[in-house]
Amino acid sequence: MEKVTKILFVVPAGLFLLLFFGYPVVKNVTMSLQEYTSRTFFTGEAPWVGFANYVTIFTSNLFVPSMVNTALFTVGSIAGQFAIGLALAVFFKRRFPLSNFLRSMLLLPWLLPLIVASATWRSILDQDSGVLNQFIGVFGVEPVPWLTSPGVALIAVILVNIWIGIPFNVTILYGGLQDIPEELYEAGALDGATGWAAFRYITWPNLRPVVSVVLVLGVVYTIKVLDIILGLTDGGPANSTQTLSIRSYQESFVSFEFGVGAAYSNVLIIVSLLFALIYLRANRRAVDE
């Protein structure tokens, strides 16, 4: 009887996983092997085409650039978010007047809907009338074509994504810092470890497990970013901000080639999965410690 009860408790969760995780993943895989177009929705016919969709994406001139852009976008965003996030977290570890208030203000970018944030940034980054160019113009800097030059657009998109990602990094890293016992610093101070040495030999080693979590989660969140790029550049100018997720979206919901779009997103899923495995390993190590 108890056994049945146990199973019954697992069933809802199992059903949930099966419906909302198992089914979409399997469907995505099968869809990528089919010619799945707008016609399919009406006729229900989706002929099997083997790996034709994968051939299409791997031979597309946009595949390599979008892979490279995805990598640059992810690495650039994570590096910026983490560096600034860690600096702010360490900064806020000291208590000072208004520190709690300021720290909660940092969460603002997180509260804004992404599509609102990207629309706002789009006007900030406008070449002629954007606030940013007018501001740097005060210092005699020529207007920068943030979103209209293929050489600069990806950098601009990364900068915006860094801004959006900082709250996440600050919050988690700050939590990690709170968990480091104060005694360690007191003992370290007696031995002369203050300032940078205290960070290097006390803060950093104790923060390592949190850092690995932040980084891996950050990668998984960043690699699939769609709305910010869509809102800022739509993959342009001249395809210079195409990423795997943009390709997947455009193939599926602009060209209605759902099979090709599914193939792109499967590539994306496999890449994310690699990082998820790294995360699980890192997490286990943290628990073991």
Partner 1 sequence: MTTARSPRMTFGPSAAPANRAGTRRFRSRMTAVFAVAAITPLVLASCSGGGDSGSGGGEVESLSILDYYNNEPDSTLIQTAIDNCGEEIGVEIDRRTVPGADLIQTVLQQASSRTLPDVLMLDNPDLQEIAATGGLSPLSDYDVDTSGFAEGMLEAATYEGEVYGLAPTANTIGLFYNADLLEAAGIEPPTTWDELKTAAAALTTGDQYGIAFSAIATYEGSWQFLPFMWTNGGDETDLTTPEVAEALQLQVDLVQSGSASSSVLNWSQADVKDQFAAGNAAMMINGPWQIPALQETPEINWGTVQIPVREEGQTPIAPLGGEVWTVPVTGDDAKQAKAAEFVSCMSNDENQLTLAEARYTVPTKTALAEQYVENVPEMASFTEQVANARSRTGQLGEEWPDAATVIYTAIQLALTDQATPTDAFEEAAAG
Task: CB nearer to partner 1: give 200 or 285.
Answer: 285
Q: Smallest distance from the beta carbon of 122 to partner 1, in angstroms? A: 7
Site for partner 1 in 131-150 (CB under 8 A): 145, 147-150
264 neighbors 248 (Cβ within 8 angstroms): yes
- Can residue 43 be called a binding residue for partner 1 (CB under 8 A)? yes
Site for partner 1 in 149-188 (CB under 8 A): 149-150, 171-172, 174-176, 179, 181
Give the C-alpha separation, 98 to 50, whole Å: 61
First to last CA, the chain: 38
Burial level of 51, CB count in 10 A (0-12/13-18/19+)? exposed
Task: CB nearer to partner 1: give 230 or 271.
Answer: 230
Selected range binding partner 1 among 16-24, 79-87, 188-196, 269-277, rule: CB under 8 A: 16-24
Place of tokens 């994306």: 268
- Residue of the chain from 1, 2, 44, 196 that contacts partner 1 (CB under 8 A): 44
Q: Smallest distance from the beta carbon of 181 to partner 1, in angstroms? A: 7
Q: What is the largest CA-CA distance in the chain?
A: 79
Task: CB nearer to partner 1: give 47 or 192.
Answer: 47
Give the x/- contact pattern for partner 1 in 211-250, rule: CB under 8 A. Answer: --x-------------------xxxxxxxx----------
Selected range binding partner 1 among 48-56, 78-86, 252-260, 268-276, rule: CB under 8 A: 252-260
- Residue of the chain from 6, 7, 16, 26 that contacts partner 1 (CB under 8 A): 16
- Residue of the chain from 28, 52, 56, 62 that contacts partner 1 (CB under 8 A): 62
Q: Smallest distance from the beta carbon of 193 to partner 1, in angstroms? A: 19
- Can residue 122 be called a binding residue for partner 1 (CB under 8 A)? yes
Task: CB nearer to partner 1: give 35 or 126.
Answer: 126
Residues that bind partner 1 (CB under 8 A): 9, 12-13, 15-16, 19-20, 38-44, 60-62, 103-104, 107, 122, 126-129, 145, 147-150, 171-172, 174-176, 179, 181, 206, 209-210, 213, 233-240, 253-256, 286-287, 289
